[in-house]
Amino acid sequence: MTTSTSTNHPATLTGKVALVTGASSGIGRAAALELARRGAKVVASARRQAEIEALVAEIRQEGFEATAVVADVNDESSVVDLVARAVATYGRLDIAFNNAGTEGGFTPFVEQSNEVYDAIFNANVRGVFWSMKHQAQQMLAQGGGVIINNASMGGVIGFGNAALYIASKHAVLGLTKTASIEWFKQGVRVNAICPGIIDTPFQDRVWPSAEAKQAFASTTVPGRSGTPEEMAKVVAFLASDDASFVSGHGLLADGGYSIA
């Protein structure tokens, strides 16, 4: 495989091995492509086999290395197997982007159910916890690595009718900060991205109509949704040595919504 890159995709990650969960669509898919274009060997993971195999085919067509692994972050044994397969395939694990998660149901606080709680916290918190734990065990053993979690701007601010989702993303930032304190001196940096409204299938599910989504997007400073590719570049920065002194940070990439 070649590892040539364009001006828009500097080869900052050549020789690295990157694992992306939730890679079948949206930010995860864009991040897998971006990391590959910057030279990383990518393990793309999700529950939907056809989508990640199509992604891997696209990466390979561009001349980069990638492999698809079906996994479910709701199952710890699946997470353990995912990390093991990444290491078995490429010999190590340098970068992990924990993007898999769910929005659950957006309803008034008093209507939120135990079932929705379990669905959201299993994927968004316990799945991230398991992923970080087993990724870090490999990274600590090999002498270093980078973990990046998707925390959403919902990890920093609140929204009505989204109590459980918001709580889960605050928890992701808590895991990020605590792990950074424990692992930074041992060579493992841990950060999170906090995207705002991004043009992804996730957002299409959240809003009742395209008009409602656009109305919310208009409240950002530039007056638009972000793109998955813009978020992927944030992930690539945090994954690179350019962010060598950045750890325990939740990087807001929300078009200024949270300050406006």
Residues tagged active-site: 165
- Which of 224, 131, 145, 153 lies closest to 187 in space, CA to CA? 145
Report whether 241 contacts 211 (CB < 8 A). Answer: no
* Separation CA 172–CA 177 (nearest Å): 9
Contacts of 75 (CB under 8 A, 6+ apart): none
Q: Cα 214–218–219 angle (5° rounding)?
A: 125
Element (H, E) at 70: strand 66-70
Element (H, E) at 192: strand 188-195
- Look up residue 217 and give its two tokens: 């997007």
